Chains A and B, each alone.
Chain A
Amino acid sequence: MTGCGQPTGGTGSELPVAHAKHGPASPDLSVSIGDLRLRNPVMVASGTFGFGTEYADIVDISRLGAIVVKGTTLDPWPGNPPPRIVETPAGMLNSIGLQNDGVESLLSEKLPRLRRYGVPVIVNVCGKTLVEYVRLCEILEAADDIAAVELNASCPNIEHGGMSFGTSCPEMTDLVAACRKATTKPLIVKLSPNVTDIVPIAKAAQDAGADALSLINTLLGMAIDVDTWRPRLAKVTGGLSGPAIRPVAVRMVWQVAQAMPLPIIGIGGIMTADDALEFLLAGATAVAIGTANFVNPPASLEIIEGIAAYLQKRHIKSVRDIIGKLHV
């Protein structure tokens, strides 16, 4: 498989920082998300990398910063009718509907296969009710090899739960507070961009005990077949992802990073190292790669290498030295 056509790494910009006293040592890529330490800031986003092992034949998954596994619910969910995806300009709409085999299958079948790769595993959880989220947190609390829990308060493709928790401050407060009581693991809350102002929602999550925020999930969108006069997705609307949404995601990361100290995992259309660097400069501590995995399976590894090359070229010792260093 060949690499992407897009250049990664440095672009010859005149911006800082040059203080290397010695030769080109490998830059330190490690970051911390609360108590969660990552060897590098590049994760793969929930729903775009399965349970990790599906890609193991073509990607060295042991090099990833972390794997966020497919959204998991208490009981198996069947998912939405097809068509579930449609390509749009520089992006795609999906309405999968969180099809998954439930948390028991995750713990008994899927996680054991992932264990030998030694990658931190973050489990994305979703429920129809607050009680389901809490129960999931309680179940996962007992699993030693789960590094963190990510609350999916942002899925746009289910009728109850998901995004409804992530678009109202009181509901966000209740959800995060209840889950905080149910788990001692790092608690990440994945936010929806489908709000007028993301800052109050992010603050609600922070004040209720979140350790970190993932942003953003997909943007609610829609595409129509003008020949048939029908929507292109069976469920009419879906979540937009891919490079098309990246500027929106960068903006939201920046807004939230300005407003509060909580670590942010930046997500949204990251295809190259330069894309990831935008998020880091805007204030994200780490990034998660989503749709790019479909297009270019080694994208996340290329991005890790690209970030390292970028830092090395500028004699920056640690990736932590660029987080939130946007000049405005």
Chain B
Amino acid sequence: MRFAAPRIAAEAQPGQWVHVRCSDTWDPLLRRPLSIADVADDRQSFFILCRLVGRGTEKLVAKRPGETADIIGPIGHGFDLRQVAHSTPQRRPAVALVAGGYGVAPLHLLLRTLREQAGTDLTAAVFIGAETAERLLFLQRLDELADELHTATVDGTLGHKGLVTEPFQAAMSSRPADVAFSCGPTAMMAEVARICTAHNVPCQVSLEQHMGCGVGVCLGCAVPIRADGGVVYRRACCDGPVFPAELVAWEDMA
């Protein structure tokens, strides 16, 4: 879906998100957090990928062109692109993006932005997985932006049959990236984090959690982050959603 919102579109950074009121009644009550998947070239509008999961998103996708929506955004700390530039001063940096399902949304804007900034001075390998081929989103655009596109489906309808972390692990074993970025189901990101740690590759993950307010007051979206030898709760909404993978206490992630 595309929303005309010049201020959000102008400010949006890869990995940031918007909090959308889907209903104009009190049921469903809460806003829905959605990643910014792309920004129009004229920076007057932005795009989201909306997964139909329940009554809130059903109401949102039922909106017709010209209707308005109540949106707060852009919110949160997105991906740190500087890590790419700093990763390898000697040669073209190589990035790996690992997406599961709708987790492709923020990674698409990330890759687009990296490409705009670095042009061909960047090697990008994209690994995208889903249950089945028709759930692999943004394939054509990713293919245009990436140097390598690896697909995986659990049912084998396209690409590698199995989990996306399997081709990612194989690629990292033969030719590790300098920086990795991931967004998708928690179990997938935990595995990506494990692989990256094993290869000593920095990795940034965009965490998902139930959201209440979206502005940092309700503390509902707590995620366990390692700090000072222990684990503290940080807010996925505004301290994240992107965190360094090695700081996430994956065993405590719900």
User: B97 → chain A, closest Cβ, in Å?
Assistant: 26
Q: B interface, by DSSP: helix, strand, loop or mixed? A: loop
Closest to A79 in B: B233
- Chain A positions 68 through 99: 1 when the CB is less than 8 Å from some CB of chain B, otherwise 0: 00100000001111111111011110101001
Closest to B28 in A: A87
User: B107 → chain A, closest Cβ, in Å?
Assistant: 23
B29 pairs with A50, CB closer than 8 A: no
| Interchain CA distance A2-B252 in the complex, whole Å | 38
Residue A243 is within 8 A (CB to CB) of chain B in the complex: yes
Interface size class of chain A, counting residues whose CB lies under 8 Å from the partner chain? 35 or more
Chain A residue contacts of B254, Cβ below 8 A: 81-83, 234
Residue A5 is within 8 A (CB to CB) of chain B in the complex: yes
B68 pairs with A295, CB closer than 8 A: no
Residue A117 is within 8 A (CB to CB) of chain B in the complex: no
| Interchain CA distance A199-B252 in the complex, whole Å | 42
B220 pairs with A96, CB closer than 8 A: yes
User: B101 → chain A, closest Cβ, in Å?
Assistant: 17
A99 pairs with B219, CB closer than 8 A: yes
Residue A6 is within 8 A (CB to CB) of chain B in the complex: yes
Residue A54 is within 8 A (CB to CB) of chain B in the complex: yes
User: B244 → chain A, closest Cβ, in Å?
Assistant: 19
Closest to A293 in B: B213
Residue B86 is within 8 A (CB to CB) of chain A in the complex: no
B212 pairs with A92, CB closer than 8 A: yes
A84 pairs with B210, CB closer than 8 A: yes
User: A206 → chain B, closest Cβ, in Å?
Assistant: 31
Residue A242 is within 8 A (CB to CB) of chain B in the complex: yes
| Interchain CA distance A48-B224 in the complex, whole Å | 21
| Interchain CA distance A48-B21 in the complex, whole Å | 17
B233 pairs with A78, CB closer than 8 A: yes
B30 pairs with A294, CB closer than 8 A: yes
Interface residues of A (CB under 8 A from B): 1-2, 4-6, 47-50, 54-55, 58, 70, 78-87, 89-92, 94, 96, 99, 234, 242-243, 271, 291, 293-297
Q: Which 10 A-B pairs have the closest CB atoms?
A: A5-B24, A50-B217, A85-B220, A294-B213, A90-B27, A243-B26, A82-B254, A2-B70, A82-B222, A83-B254
A–B Cβ pairs within 8 angstroms, 25 of them: A1-B72, A47-B217, A48-B217, A50-B217, A54-B216, A54-B217, A78-B233, A82-B210, A82-B222, A82-B224, A82-B254, A84-B221, A87-B28, A87-B30, A90-B27, A92-B212, A96-B218, A99-B222, A234-B254, A242-B26, A293-B217, A294-B213, A294-B218, A295-B30, A296-B70
- List 4 additional A-B contacts (Cβ < 8 Å) besides A1-B71, A84-B222, A96-B219: A58-B215, A90-B26, A243-B27, A294-B212
Interface residues of B (CB under 8 A from A): 21, 24-31, 68, 70-72, 209-224, 232-233, 252-254
